[in-house]
Amino acid sequence: MTDSQENDAPTVAKDEVLRRIGRNLLLFQHIEQLLKRLLEMRVQGTLETFERNIKKRQAKVHAQTLGQLATLFVEDILSDAGDSDETGVHDQPTMSSISFTFSSPADRAYIEQYSVEMKAVLKARNDLVHQFLPRWKPTCAKSTEAALAQLDADHALALPMRDRLKCYAESLTEILDETIKALSSPETLRQLEMIHLRHSQLALMLGEITLQAARADGWTVLSTASQIVAVHAPDEFRQMAKRYGHRTLKKFMLATELFDFMEEATPKGGVRVLYRINPRFTLGPNSAPADADLLTEESTLRSK
């Protein structure tokens, strides 16, 4: 073969190399975006912090390289089906918190196979970005043919990984749609708000106060409880409307549905409000001082 024959790469072939370069780059970018989509929705927070935590998680995930994303995907999503030790967003949960995770338990063989395949995809992507153009000689027919073959091989390698991640992402989207629909119902929103109020510091203090300051008949004077809260938790008292959406202590307590109320006449002809813990609930044995967190899901204020 003469030098002129070797160097006679048709324009259409050179254009096809450029087209396949673009095709492969878009494929690798799609893989990266799918990994980010899957990883960013792993978050926990209270009703007040959940939205802010989502933004922090998104910012953290979007700052990762493709290689880092691939590693996180194994650690956060492809959990070993034989490993029951869950970590991450479930650490130290609270009753007034919300958490969302997406995982796909897999056996060790599957995880190892995924890792091998993803490493091959990463190698192909890095080769295209950093090594391909210096190696390809556009004027050489043989080099152009080799470039076309390599680009097709890399595309065939990456396409199944993209399709697999796309399937995960579609499942996540379906779960999110169902979750949003459920959380948007008026009853669910009411229940979430009630959980938030019931496990607030203010509700815990009021429960403890009635145990310590109740009369012999089990009722506590609401004005007495109000004075105790104002002294020991003035911030809770002043910011009640901002934190809990209720401007009076009684309205707040009614919203928790934890307390019963009654009114009785005073010797001077007035009326005072009394309250007690509703008989459906009780404080457990692990009570703490009035300025501490008194309730936990298992051993404190709970439905009988």
Host domain of residue 61: 3-184
In sequence order, the 6+-apart residues with CB closer than 8 A to the CB of 197 are: 203, 244, 252, 255, 256
How does pLDDT run across 193-243, given as a tens digit for each residue? 888 888 888 999 999 999 888 999 999 999 999 999 999 999 988 889 888
**Residue 274's domain is classified under what CATH number?**
1.10.10
Regarding whether 102 and 165 lie in a shared domain, the answer is yes
Q: What average pLDDT does the chain have? A: 82
Regarding whether 211 and 179 lie in a shared domain, the answer is no
Range scoring the smallest mean pLDDT among 111-120, 123-132, 168-177: 168-177
20 domain residue, yes or no:
yes
Regarding whether 174 and 40 lie in a shared domain, the answer is yes
189 domain residue, yes or no:
no
Regarding whether 203 and 116 lie in a shared domain, the answer is no
List for the chain the helix, strand, coil content (%; round to 5). 60, 10, 30
Regarding whether 158 and 32 lie in a shared domain, the answer is yes
Pairing status of strand 271-277 against strand 281-282: unpaired
Residue ranges in 85-221 assigned as alpha helix (H) = 108-130, 132-135, 141-183, 186-198, 201-213
- Provide the domain count of the chain: 2
Regarding whether 12 and 133 lie in a shared domain, the answer is yes
8 domain residue, yes or no:
yes
Regarding whether 203 and 179 lie in a shared domain, the answer is no
The model's pTM: 0.61
Regarding whether 170 and 288 lie in a shared domain, the answer is no
The H or E element spanning position 261 is strand 259-265
Regarding whether 15 and 86 lie in a shared domain, the answer is yes
Picking from 156, 184, 212, the residue at the C-terminal end of a domain is 184
Residue in 202, 189, 184, 215 with CA at minimum distance from that of residue 258:
202
Regarding whether 205 and 107 lie in a shared domain, the answer is no
pLDDT at 149 over 70: yes
